[in-house]
Amino acid sequence: MEKGFLLPDLEDVDSRGFWDGCAQGELRVQRCTSCGQLRIPPRPMCPGCRSIESDWKAVCGRGRIWSFVVAHPPLLPAYAEFAPYPVVTVELEEDAALRLVGNLVHSAEGAINEVDPDSIEIGEAVRVVFTQVEDVHLPRWVRDS
Amino acid sequence: MSDSIRDRTAIVGIGQTRFGDKGLPDTELSLACQAISLAIDDAGVLPSEVDGLCMFSMEGGREVEVARNVGLGEVTFFCEVGYGGGAGCGTVGHAAMAVATGQCEVAVAWRARKRADKKSRVWSQASARLSDYTQWSRPAGMLRPVDEIATLMRRYMHEYGATRDHLANVALAFRAHANRNPEATMYERTMSREQYMQARWISEPLCLFDNCLETDGALAVVITSAERAADLPHDPVFVHAYAQGLPTQHQTMSNFFCEDPLRGPSFACAQRLWANSDLRPDDISCAQIYDAFSPLIPLSLEGYGFCARGEGAAFTEGGALEWPDGKLPMNTSGGGLSEAYVHGFNLVLEGVRQMRGTSTSQVEGASSCLVTSGEAVPTSALILRN
């Protein structure tokens, strides 16, 4: 049903650890092993201390909706069949400046258009679920109530 | 500051092709050469005198081809400015710096763009596997620039109580200006607030009329020293100040991965711009503000200091952006929303026309004009004066 979705390159050297975590059911952010600063999207150097050493820290997977849109055509064909669908930007509980873009669903198996956009509010509490699309496990969000 | 470029160079020629919202047969290179040729003639200089070239990194026609076609002589300065719509004022600013520092004497800056064909849209050409920053948004169906700007606007509305009426203020003001400009794509098409409100959604909370046009066309300007400008046919339009802006922890377009996403590149650009100027925002006669999407107007009004954080939407009330009586007549040729979207370079030419006194919505006694390039990408801005 999600054939043709745009997906990350799982061999990307900077972000591979994030996507590996998703495949294991774990939401991770990059952590500087020198100063401890968390960062996402991942990148080679810590902007706080310029260390190139980092590891991956599992986060709790909870956050709040920072903003959202409802996408209508024109869209790529794979997405157009779900339109209109909401796309949420979530701020993570560990640090509100750590944000991820994803879909709000009722369950990991749900379609990206299954939540009524009119019911969505900024500030809503959400938690992560993982949905496999081809060989990628995409983090998605369900209401955390 | 003795080595400032302030008022040391001037725009002395402008040229533009016709605009095609249904497509033009010409290639980007041909359009670029046509616009440059017109600008050179308007400036009253010879092609052989042009020794500086400044263009967008995204240009289809390269410097070598432009020089071979237009019949330029020996070019001693050429540069490219990146980040799409953020580049326009940057190309003019780089040209001004090059002229002011003696790297060239007569420079041309331009943009040619063919986007009327739906297949030419960058977002629709995404490859199947993403290894750049788009992997953090595209998989969820945040596919297009409009989705990224709509995300910022929804948050802006939530934080500051802005409404669609504020965005309509922007779209309707620029449309009314286009209705006075025979060159504008929307010259013959008026728009009411009701039509705006009933337009189809593209990415809620943004509708069709919050989006710029997609246009085939090209525009160019000629820049030379203030001394040389004094001998040329047109009254010089001085490059009074110029700056670029790339703010802390910025991410192009999807600027959600930083502390304060609503504080965009215009804030960084504005600090340097005003520091390099004798003028303050209150002194500016009119403005040409980059409007790929209507929300960029309130964000830019805040960034360039015309109002405080959170007040950009309210600034648009009471006809503030409308010619002739608004407190800051804006995008007086119709802008990207209603004249043409040539990556904002048409805004540079309208700034020049305002300073020459030849706009179709001429601000009486205009003595300075702020021109900006893309907000939400690494950007640039100019203050022009006459």
Strand arrangement, sheet containing B77-81: B77-81, B52-56, B106-114, B216-225, B9-16, B237-245, B379-385, B368-372, B286-288
- For B147, the token pair is 């989705």
pLDDT, tens digit (0-9, with 9 covering 90-100), for A73-114:
999 999 999 999 999 999 999 998 999 999 999 999 999 999
* Percent of chain B residues topping a pLDDT of 70: 99
Residue A102: what pLDDT? 98
Q: Do B98 and B225 touch, CB atoms closer than 8 A?
A: no
| A-chain residues near B147 (CB < 8 A) | 69, 71, 87
Residue B336 buriedness (CB in 10 A; 0-12 / 13-18 / 19+): buried
Q: What is the CA radius of gyration of chain A?
A: 16
pLDDT for B164-189, tens place per residue?
A: 999 999 999 999 999 999 999 999 99
- For residue A90, what is the nearest residue in chain B, using CA coordinates? B256
Q: Tell me the Cα Rg of chain B.
A: 19
**Per-residue tokens: B98:** 């090059």
Does the pLDDT value for residue B97 go beyond 90? yes
The amino acid at B124: S
Is the predicted pLDDT of residue A1 greater than 80, yes or no? no
For the ranges A50-64, B81-95, B109-123, B280-294, the lowest mean pLDDT is seen at B109-123
The pLDDT score that the predictor gives to residue B350 is 98
pLDDT digits (tens, 9 = 90+) for B29-52: 999 999 999 999 999 999 999 999
Which class is B2-115+213-385 in CATH?
A: alpha beta
Interface predicted TM-score (ipTM) over 0.95: yes
B126 vs chain A: nearest CA distance in angstroms? 8
| Predicted local confidence at residue B118, as pLDDT | 77
CB burial of residue B243 (10 Å; 0-12, 13-18, 19+): buried
Residues 6+ apart with CB under 8 A from B36: B15, B66, B70, B108, B110, B220
Per-domain residue ranges of chain A = 8-58, 60-145
Given B138, B150, B158, which is nearest A69 (Cβ)?
B150
Q: Which two tokens stand for residue A71?
A: 């996408």
Predicted confidence (pLDDT) per residue in B306-350, tens digit: 999 999 999 999 999 999 999 999 999 999 999 999 999 999 999
Please tell me the distance in Å from A136's CA to the nearest CA on chain B.
Answer: 10
Question: In whole angstroms, how far apart are CA B74 and each of B11, B228, B356?
Answer: 21, 19, 30
Phi-psi region of B53 (alpha: psi -120 to 50; beta: other; left: phi over 0): beta
For chain B, first and last CA: distance in Å?
21
A99 to chain B nearest CA, in Å? 6
Q: Which residues of chain A have a CB within 8 Å of the CB of B293?
A: none
User: For residues B13 and B109, what is the distance between their CA atoms, to the nearest angstrom?
Assistant: 11
Domain ranges across chain B: 2-115+213-385
Residues of B designated catalytic = 290, 341
Bridge partners, B242 (sequence order): B382
- In the structure encoding, which two tokens stand for residue B179, read together? 């209705």
CA-closest candidate to residue B386, choices B369, B362, B374, B373:
B369
CB contact under 8 A, B258 and A97: yes
Distance between A76 CA and the closest CA of chain B, angstroms = 6
What part of B 111-170 touches A (C-beta under 8 Å)? 118, 124, 126, 128-131, 133-144, 147, 150-152, 154-155, 158
Dihedral angle sign, alpha carbons of residues B248, B140, B134, A127: positive
What pLDDT does residue B195 have?
98
The three-state secondary structure class of A38 is strand
Which pTM value belongs to this model? 0.97
pLDDT at B2: 57
Across B147-162, b (16+ Cβ under 10 Å) vs e yields bbbbbbbbbbbeebeb
B356/A31 Cα distance (integer angstroms): 55
Task: For B204, name the nearest residue in chain A, comparing CA atoms only.
Answer: A70
What is the 3-state secondary structure of chain B? CCCCCCCCEEEEEEEECCCECCCCCCCHHHHHHHHHHHHHHHHCCCHHHCCEEEEECCCCCCHHHHHHHHCCCCCCEEEEECCHHHCHHHHHHHHHHHHHCCCCCEEEEEEEEECCCHHHCHHHHCCCEECCHHHHCHHHCCCCHHHHHHHHHHHHHHHHCCCHHHHHHHHHHHHHHHCCCCCCCCCCCCCCHHHHHHCCEEEECEEHHHECCCCEEEEEEEEEEHHHHCCCCCCCEEEEEEEEECCCCCCCCCCCCCCCCCCCHHHHHHHHHHHCCCCCHHHCCEEECCCCECCHHHHHHHHCCCCCCCCHHHHCHHHCCCCCCCCCCECCCCHHHHCCCCCCHHHHHHHHHHHHCCCCCCCCCCCEEEEECCCCCCEEEEEEEC
Class level of CATH domain A60-145:
mainly beta
What is the average pLDDT value for chain B, to the nearest integer?
A: 96
Each residue of B120-135: pLDDT tens digit? 788 877 777 999 999 9
Q: State pLDDT tens for residues B127-167.
A: 779 999 999 999 999 999 999 999 999 999 999 999 999 99
Span A53-62, pLDDT tens digits? 999 999 999 9
**What is the DSSP code string of A54-95?**
EEEEE---EEEEEEEEEE-SS--HHHHTT-SEEEEEEEETTE
Tell me what the mean pLDDT of segment B95-108 comes to: 98
Distance CA B364, CA B301 (A): 22
- Helix axis angle, B63-70 relative to B28-43, nearest 10°? 60
Residues 184-203 of B with CB under 8 A from A: 200-203
Q: How far does Cα A5 stand from its chain's mean position?
A: 15
Of chain A, the percentage scoring pLDDT greater than 70 comes to 99
